[in-house]
Structure 1
Amino acid sequence: MDPQPGATPYTAPAGCPMHQQRTALYGPEFAADPHRFYDAARTHGPAAPIELSPGVEATLIVQHEAALRVLQNPALFARDSRRWAALREGAVPMDSPVLPMMVYRPNCLFTDGAEHLRLRKAVTESLSRLNSSRLSRDVERIADYLIDQFIERGTADLLNEYAKLLPLLLFNQLFGCPGDIGDRLTRSMSAIFDGEDVLRANAELTECLMELVALKRRQPGEDITSWLIQHPAGLRDEELKDQLVVLMGAGVEPERNLIANALLLMLAGEAPGAPERRGSGMLVEDALDDVLWNNPPIANYATHFPVQDIELDGVVLKAETPVLISFAAANSDPGLTDARQTLSKGAHLAWGAGPHVCPAKSPATLIALTAIEKILNTVPDLALAVPASGVAWRPGPFHRALVALPVRFTPTAARRAATGAQPAAPVSAQLPDPFRNTPSAPSAAPRHAQEPAKKQKGWWSSFLDVFRV
């Protein structure tokens, strides 16, 4: 791992991927078949040059052993993105959709050394106060609410109407958000992950979380925000806000993709061309493990910055440039033949490794398990509305995410009386036709979508009207 004397980014062999054209990780071609790129990249070495968005260049680690060497060596590979030379020099577009996921925040994701340990301890010890029974109950309650929104239709998009919204609402619950703050938090976090007006969304996210921190300093409760405030680390308001950002960021996008990708696997036929039915009698736990191996929710991330030029198996990683780990490529490394045959839980890198390994593995697994079991038990004849091979994948460099997961089932009556409160931006007004293979133009909005905005509420406020928690 030590750099070779005299090595420069231009000394790589001619066949090295550093001499290849950079592959764009944000287009539809990559989203449709990322493993084709990973396979091609591995033939040239452990790393490949990529473009995360227009004007944002990086290197992607695509081999399992090399990924571990980076993840487990913080002395040579730092996480603090203030080291990012191109960003400091103004070479990165400030409106780039990837910046909210990469720019420095004073949280445990972007810090190193003693500061990282201090912040991570506050996060892990606050998370440890979560009661698993309460967490399961919260997930089931939110799942009940979301299922009620579509169960009478007989069709749904389980990505946008269920898997996407459930973790957003759950974190409002876990953070102790009142209605207005929760609505804004849901809206801004969703926009950031979808790459929509990210500058405005990031500003709104900051504003509503600072309001939440101020509220919880005055009125603490049994929630993660209050526990972080009370932690002996003595976090400042800015630090508190950014620990909440990393918790929600690490929980929302990965969780929704884990739920949706596992549901797709379970609802697909046993083999290509088989009828679209619940596949193979697969247990939920096995489906989750399969997804973590083969379609990890966060496919490429864990941005590191070499502290100096570092030679890695013939490829020179230039100092202060972004180096990302491809968890998806590492998991599909042909060198992991034995581990892949058994899908050993200890070998895949979906949860990361080293000092920044995911601190929320257990609650994240419980959330996905509970959410999937709830929808399958509530809607026993759930079936895909399109062939599994026809679903579309959302472009983007970091995630492995569906555009939609259209399903059909026998309509039944909602289990809770409607309160009259409707979400401000009802998902059903924006969904693709669930019986088409690809997204189409939005269908006609329901009556309540035509009403003046002042009569409409956000998802969290509407949920609170049903469940007073």
Structure 2
Amino acid sequence: MTADSAHAAAAAQPRCPAHAARIPLHGAEFSQDPARFYADLREHGPVAKVELAPGVPASLVTDYSAALTVLRDPISFPRDPHHWQRSLPPTASMIAAMAFQPLCLIVDDSAHARLRGAMSDGLDRVDPTLLRASVERSADLLIDEFIGAGRAELLADYAAVLPTLVLAQLYGASAGLGKRLMAGAVRAKNRSPHRTAVDLHESVSELVAYKRARRGTDVTSAMLDHPAELTDEEVVDQLTALGYGVEPLQNWITNSLRLLLSDERFAGAVSGSVVVEDVLTEVLWADPPIANHAPMFPVRDVEVQGVPLPAHQPVLISFAAANTDPELAVGQERAGNRAHLAFGAGPHSCPAQAPARVIATVGIERLLDRLPDLELAVPADRLTWRPGPYHRALAGLPVRFTAVGARSTSDRSTPRAPEPDTVHLPRPTARPTPSESDGEETGPAWWQSLTRWWRDR
């Protein structure tokens, strides 16, 4: 079904006036060819009527300049969904993805400044050099498991696990908690989003309780020590929100690998002739992992570029459509250009952009270094995309390469990465590290424990 026929079919269904003539963003047709739908949506002006799920209407901003206007105006377009949420039945599928949570990405005003400040300050203190070393070592741990097979499923075996393994170190997790977080990442593809979120929240709650008594040099401890004086539950909520970023990050990695391995513009990239960061930036412009989101709920009827928007009804930003707005195409160079909206804009933009870029860049570079003849195992047009209105996510990424014997890190000619139990922040004065205070597995022991568990799982 084409975008035009899908639109016609949607309009032909008997619906109440609020749902009339809405273009559906759910189903396989949209996920396989969203560009056709975005082209159709643009015919309706800078903001179009869409359906996020059967019976769930919304307005979608597809124009770049209009998107910036909305994202930068939290007064007219607050994030609080309480009024809208009360209008939906308890079983509505959209509640889980758009419901209120006390997160810095959702709350507004002084509450936002307080929570956002604590999270941003904690992330800003991460040493990018040590983070890069951590990603390299994490990548090697995962690559060692399939390098001898000559084939791999890079979504399940690599991209879905790498961000979680690094995140466990950013959090300052013990080896035991690191194992549970990794196991949750492996299970997430076959479990409900709600159950996965509950598991993550429970694990982070345990971590925060542990760190409250035994500080370390990690993001969790930095947030607990922040002048904003967050409660334990507030720290848990913000770290859980950071964990929600694992899925967009894995999709950014797989979307970039797909582009790099299938687009003739990047032929020879595996041998180093193309900068990986340019490929990552191209994906953020053309195929962002979060395609449509940032729900906002105007408290009164408003207009955006002449389009009326009703009070209390969701207004979403199409990052994918705005980034590919034809008005931006003339004379625009994407390489090195970070004016895209893939991380949002305004006060609620993503606070973890810098570490996410390091994880994605180093994760792909390490993979290409170790598997220089990496190629897709199926034609690119046979890859399938997971349905859903919010993400741009492959269902899998099978690849093949020349099988080689897995080597330990110490056997490689490339520099050996440090062996941290966490990605360290500047050490606080006169405060013991976890290894000094409680005997938890740290350094090489952390990695040895994770390696044994990963190989025996």
Q: Does TM-score exceed 0.5, indicating one fold?
A: yes
What do the CA deviations read for 1:132-180 (whole angstroms, capped 9, x no partner)? Answer: 1110011011100110111111001112211111001111111122244
Please tell me whether the aligned partners of residues 41 and 62 of structure 2 are also in contact (alpha carbons under 8 angstroms). yes
Where structure 1 has 5 or more consecutive residues not aligned to the other structure, the ranges are: 1-16, 418-458
Q: Distance in 2 between matches of 1:416 and 1:166?
A: 18
Cα drift, residue 463 of structure 1: 3.6
> Following the alignment from structure 2 to structure 1, what is the Cα–Cα distance between the partners of residues 185 and 98?
15
SS in 2 for 1:255: helix
Question: Which aligned pairs between 1:7-26 and structure 2 lie closer than 5 A?
Answer: 21-26=21-26
Q: 1:326-405, aligned counterparts within 5 Å?
A: 326-338=318-330, 340-342=332-334, 345-405=337-397
Structure 1 counterpart of 2:262, from 268, 278, 281: 268
1:232 aligns with: 227
- 1:202 and 2:200 correspond: no
The alignment status of 1:173 with 2:183, answered yes or no, reads no
Provide the residue aligned with 1:444 in structure 2.
Answer: none
Aligned partners of 1:357 and 1:285: how far apart in 2? Answer: 20
1:49 corresponds to: 49
Distance 1:235 1:277 in 2: 45
Aligned-partner Cα distance in 1 for 2:190–2:389: 11
Contact conserved, 1:24 with 1:52, CA < 8 A, in 2?
A: yes
- Quote the Cα distance in structure 2 between the aligned partners of 1:32 and 1:305: 29
Q: 1:40 corresponds to which letter in structure 2? A: D
Whether 1:117 aligns to 2:107 is no
CA 1:279–1:137 in 2, change beyond 3 Å: closer, same or farther? closer
Q: Deviations over 1:90-132 (max 9, x none)?
A: 43525x2x43432212121011111111111101100011011
Counterparts in 2 of 1:38-77, with a 5 A limit?
38-77=38-77
Q: SS where residue 306 of structure 1 aligns? A: coil
Match of 2:29?
29
Name the SS of the counterpart of 2:139 in structure 1: helix
What is the aligned length? 402
Q: Deviations over 1:51-96 (max 9, x none)?
A: 323443322111111101110111100012224x2x21343525x2
C-alpha distance 344-413 of structure 1, shift in aligned 2 (>3 A): closer
Partners of 1:279 and 1:35 in 2: CA distance:
31
Letter in 2 for 1:175: Y
Answer whether contact 1:217 1:229 (CA < 8 A) is retained.
yes
Whole-Å Cα distance in 1 between the matches of residues 339 and 331 of structure 2?
6
Aligned to 2:8: none
CA distance in 2, matches of 1:22, 1:196: 30
Change (3 A) 1:290 1:278: same
* Alpha carbons of structure 1 residues 254 and 307: separation in structure 2 relative to 1, 3 Å: same
SS in structure 2 at match of 1:78: coil
CA drift at 1:275: 9.4
Alpha-carbon distance, 1:227 to partner:
1.0
> Retained in 1: the 8 A contact 2:160–2:185?
no
Q: How does 1:51-450 map to 2 (within 5 A)?
A: 51-83=51-83, 85=84, 87-91=85-89, 93=91, 96=93, 98-188=94-184, 194=189, 196-250=191-245, 252-270=246-264, 281-338=273-330, 340-342=332-334, 345-416=337-408
Residue pair 1:309, 1:318 contacting (<8 A) in 2 also = yes
Determine if contact 1:18/1:48 at 8 Å carries over to the other structure.
no
- In structure 2, do the counterparts of structure 1 residues 337 and 466 end up closer, same or farther at CA, with 3 Å as the change threshold? closer
Q: Deviations over 1:357-394 (max 9, x none)?
A: 22222221111111111000011111111112221111
Would you say the 8 A contact 1:305–1:323 is kept in 2? yes
**Alpha-carbon distance in 2 for matches of 1:101, 1:135:** 30
**CA contact 1:268–1:276 (8 Å) conserved in 2:** no
TM-score, normalisation: structure 2: 0.81
Pair 339,247 (structure 1): closer, same or farther in 2 beyond 3 Å: farther
The residue identity in structure 1 corresponding to 2:388 is G
Report the TM-score when normalising by structure 1.
0.79
Query: Structure 2 CA distance, aligned partners of 1:301 and 1:187?
Result: 27
* Aligned mates of 1:315, 1:146 — CA distance in 2: 49
SS in structure 2 at match of 1:376: helix
Q: Which moved more, 1:329-338 or 1:203-212?
A: 203-212
Assess, with a 3 A threshold, how the Cα gap between structure 1 residues 225 and 460 changes in structure 2: closer, same or farther: farther
Structure 2 residues without counterparts, runs of 5 or longer: 1-16, 410-446
SS in 1 for 2:131: helix
* Percent identical residues: 47
| Residue 191 to residue 408, structure 1, CA distance change in 2 (3 Å) | closer
Secondary structure of 2:264 counterpart:
coil
